[in-house]
Amino acid sequence: MRVDGAEVLERTLTEDEAAILEAWNISLREGTSLQSGRIREAELQTQAKIVFGQLQGALASGGIDADAEHYAALRETLADISRSRAIQGFSPTDTANFIFALKEPIFEALRRKSAVDATKLAAGVWAAGKVLDRLGLHTMEVFLASREDVIGRQGQEIAELSTPVVRLWDGILALPLIGTLDSARTGVVMENLLQAIVDEEAEIAIIDITGVPTVDTLVAQHLLKTVAAARLMGADCIVSGIRPQIAQTMVHLGVELNVVSKATLADAFALALKRTGRKVVRQQATATEERR
């Protein structure tokens, strides 16, 4: 006689619900999730209860194929749990263990139920293993996708944060560029600079590239576009921080920025002050002059 593992499993889950849930909760409590303090015990228990109920429901509507339609609600619950774990900074192991910790209690219960019938036990264990493994993998997939989302968002935030426009003086702005200037970031850079030029009614914008490791034709083109756009908004650009090895490389590449450049941001600032009719003088010098 063929034994239906799904049926054995379903019956065990119904008849032994209390014992299985308790053993699962104990296992979860001992797990590292709680010890990390990222989640409260009550929350973990509620999640376990909901998942358990949905697993019973799915088994009752037929079969152990966790990818099937009647598992959709359970998969969605697990996805929600995984997503929140990813955001709360759980490790992949902790996240997957939520489901895998349910295996042992179920195996135990199956053993108790079918102590006399080895065929039933084997069928039940096989069914439980299959469905829980699939659900565990599902939690991992969602977890990883969520981590990637988080990382992607952080990347965007860094892109915005790492391109601040600094007001050095009335009408003088500085844009210190740091890192790789890919097209996505350059868009943000350019927008920020042009907006700041309008807001500050800036006359001069200093683009400092000390922190840009490589100036290739793409970076050069981005710089040229930025300079041209700034000019249209009525601001002149000075490029500073072109290191000697970069200057040489640019010559070999054949790119010309056609813009005033200075070795350092300080030199560029001094030039900007001069161009806007200002001068920096040492206070002491004036004092000595007065004494004479």
Partner 1 sequence: MTVSTTETLAIRSGDDVVRVRQRVRALAVDIGLGLVDQTKIITAASELARNTLDYGGGGEVRAEIVLAGTRRGLRLTFEDRGPGIADIEQAMTDHYTSGRGLGLGLGGAKRLSNEFHIESTPGVGTRVMIARWK
Q: Is 255 in the site for partner 1 (CB under 8 A)?
A: yes
Question: How open is the CA angle 22-28-86, to the nearest 5 degrees?
Answer: 140
Q: What share of the chain is helix, strand, coil (3-state, %, to 5)?
A: 65, 10, 25
Binder among 162, 221, 261, 276 for partner 1 (CB under 8 A): 221
CA 250, CA 32: separation in Å to the nearest integer?
Answer: 54
Contact residue for partner 1 among 42, 118, 151, 244 (CB under 8 A): 244
Q: Are 134 and 66 contacting, i.e. CB atoms less than 8 angstroms apart?
A: yes
Counting contacts by CB under 6 A, is residue 218 touching ligand ATP?
yes
- Is there a contact between 169 and 273 (Cβ–Cβ < 8 Å)? yes
The answer to whether 115 and 54 are in contact (CB under 8 A) is no
User: Is residue 223 close enough to count as binding partner 1 by CB under 8 A?
Assistant: no
Q: Which does 56 bind (CB under 5 to 8 A by kind): ligand ATP, partner 1, none?
A: none
CA distance 198 to 155: 27
Pick from 61, 119, 214, 217 the residue near ligand ATP by CB under 6 A.
217
**Which residue has the closest beta carbon to ligand ATP?**
217
User: 116: buried, middle or exposed (CB in 10 Å: 19+, 13-18, 0-12)?
Assistant: exposed
169: exposed, middle or buried (C-beta count within 10 Å: 0-12, 13-18, 19+)?
A: middle
* Interface with ligand ATP, residue 214, by CB under 6 A: no
Shortest CB 177 distance to ligand ATP, Å: 18
Least separation in angstroms between residue 255's CB and partner 1 is: 6
In degrees, to the nearest 5, what angle opens at C-alpha 226 toward C-alphas 225 and 232? 90
Number of residues in contact with ligand ATP under rule CB under 6 A: 2
Residues 201 and 169 sit within 8 Å (Cβ to Cβ): no
Cβ atoms within 10 Å of 53's Cβ, excluding its own: 16
Near partner 1 in 154-183, by CB under 8 A: 180, 182-183
CB 145 within 8 A of CB 88: no
| 214 belongs to the binding site for partner 1 (CB under 8 A) | yes
- Report the residue from 215, 230, 237, 238 that binds partner 1 according to the rule CB under 8 A: 215
The answer to whether residue 68 forms part of the interface with partner 1 (CB under 8 A) is no
Q: Considering only residues 218, 228, 231, 286, which one is a binding residue for partner 1 as defined by CB under 8 A?
A: 218
- Closer residue to partner 1, CB minimum distance, 35 or 214: 214
CB nearer to ligand ATP: give 26 or 253: 253
Binding to ligand ATP by CB under 6 A, coded x per residue (else -) over 118-137, reads --------------------
For partner 1, the binding residue among 62, 187, 213, 234 (CB under 8 A) is 213
Which positions lie near ligand ATP, rule CB under 6 A? 217-218
- Report the interface residues with partner 1, using CB under 8 A: 180, 182-183, 213-218, 220-221, 244-246, 248-249, 252-255
